[in-house]
Structure 1
Amino acid sequence: MPPRPRFDRRAPVRELPNINDRINYPQLRVVDADGAQLGVIDREKALEVAKDRELDLVLVSEKADPPVCRIMDYGKYKFEQEKKAKEAKKKSHQTEVKEVKMRYKIDQHDYDVRIGQATRFLKAGDKVKCTVIFRGREIQHTALAETLLRRMAKDLEEQAEIQQAPKREGRNMIMFLTPRKTPLAKKDGDDTQVATKAVRTIPAPPRPTGLKPAATP
C-alpha cells in the first residue's frame, strides 16, 4: 500500500477568489462593466449575463445585503490590482543608508567595484555613505581622500547628488550621496568635449623603423 501524502500544516492556504460558480448566494445585486446597476437578480441569471458578455461575475462586497457582484474581465482586473500593489510597495520603500568603504590609495578595478556598488544602492532608492578609511599616518592625506570622494561624486552625478560634502569624521573622510530626483541638465559643449577627448586618445601610427632619412638635395 503506497504511503499517504503528508500534509504540510505550515504551507499557506491559498484563498481562491469569489468569482463565477464559486459565488453561492441566491440573490445578488449586480453592476455591469460600465458601472450601470442591473438590480437584484438571481445568481443563475447573473452568471448567464456574465457568460453572454464573455466576462466574469466577481463578488466585490460580501457583507452587503444582498451581496454585490460586478461583471468584469477578472484577468485584467487582477493584473491591474497587482500592478497597483507593486507601485504602492515601491513608493513605501524605506530609505536606508548603505556604506561604501575604500582607502585613499585604490586601484582602478577596486574603484570601479565601489562605483558599481553605489550605483546599485542609488537605483534601489537608498542613500550612500562613501567612506575613506585612514590608517596610521595616512590621516595626513585628507586632501587626497577628498579628491577621491569628489571624483566619485562626479562619476555618479547622473544617479546621485551630494547630500553632504566630504568632511573628516574621526579617522575617516565621509561623504553622503542621495538619489537624484531630477535629471541632470546637459551642459552645452558636452558632445564637443567628448569628441575632442576621443580624438586626443587615438594613438598616433607607429613610426617606420629601419628606413634611412631621405638625402637633402
Structure 2
Amino acid sequence: MKRGLRINGGIRAEQVRLVDDANNQVGVVTRAEALSKAQEAGLDLVEVAPNSEPPVCRIMDYGKWLYQQKRRVREAHKKTQHSSATLKEIRLRPETDKHDLQIKVGHAREFLQKGHRVQFSVFFRGRQMLHKDQGINMLNGIMDTLQDVAKIERPSMMTGRRMTLLLVPK
C-alpha cells in the first residue's frame, strides 16, 4: 500500500497528466484545471505516479480507495493464514490409558474436520524403547478409528525416541 500520496492541494507540479474517475486519459492539464475537474465530480485529485514527467494524477474517492487497499491487505493476510492447513501435534506415551487416548483421538477428529493436519507423536523413554510394538499398536488403533475422516500422509515411522504418524483430512 502506497503511503504519502499527495492529494488535492498537496500536489506541487504545475502540469499533470490527468486520468479521470472512469480510467480515461484526459491528457496534460494544469494543476488548477485538474483540481476543478475533481471538485466538479465531488472526488479527490490524487498524485499516483509522482516520479513521471509530468506527474500522473487521478480523480478518485481517496477515502474509498484507502479502505479498499486496507481490505485487500487484510484479505490477503487471511488467505495466507488459512491457505496452509495448520499442523496440530498430539503427544502420546506408550502407557497412555485408553480413555485419555479416546479423548485425544476425539480432539484429532475435530482438528481433521476443521481441515487441519494432525501428527500423532509417541515418545519413548529409557527402557520403553524395548517395547516399540506398543507404540505401533497404538498408532494402528488410531488409524483405524480415524479412517472415516482422515487419510495417511506419512505412515508411522520411528525417528530417534519418537514415533510419528501424520494424518490429513479426506
**TM norm structure 1:** 0.57
Q: Alignment partner for residue 63 of structure 2, among 75, 95, 98?
A: 75
1:166 paired with 2:160, answer no
Matched with 1:28 is 16
> Which 5+ residue runs of structure 1 have no aligned equivalent?
1-14, 185-217
Q: Which moved more, 1:48-57 or 1:108-117?
A: 108-117
Matched with 2:46 is 58
Determine which structure has more spread, i.e. the larger CA radius of gyration.
1
Which SS does the other structure have where 1:25 is aligned? coil
RMSD of aligned alpha carbons: 3.4
CA distance in 2, matches of 1:151, 1:17: 59
- AA in 2 matched with 1:176: L
Cα deviations by residue, 1:80-135 (Å, 9 ceiling, x for unpaired): 3334334545566696865332235351444445556677782xxxx543212345
The structure with the largest strand share of the pair is 2
Cα deviations by residue, 1:165-194 (Å, 9 ceiling, x for unpaired): 23344543312235x5xxx5xxxxxxxxxx
Higher RCO (C-alpha under 8 Å, 6+ residues apart): 2
**TM norm structure 2:** 0.69
Q: Note if contact 2:90-2:104 (Cα within 8 Å) is conserved in structure 1.
A: no
CA distance in 1, matches of 2:162, 2:147: 17
> Which 5+ residue runs of structure 2 have no aligned equivalent?
none
Aligned residue pairs: how many? Answer: 158
The structure with the largest helix share of the pair is 2
- AA in 2 matched with 1:19: I
Instruction: Map residues 148-159 of structure 1 onto 2, 5 A cutoff.
Output: 148-152=142-146, 154-155=148-149, 157=150
Q: Note if contact 2:14-2:31 (Cα within 8 Å) is conserved in structure 1.
A: yes
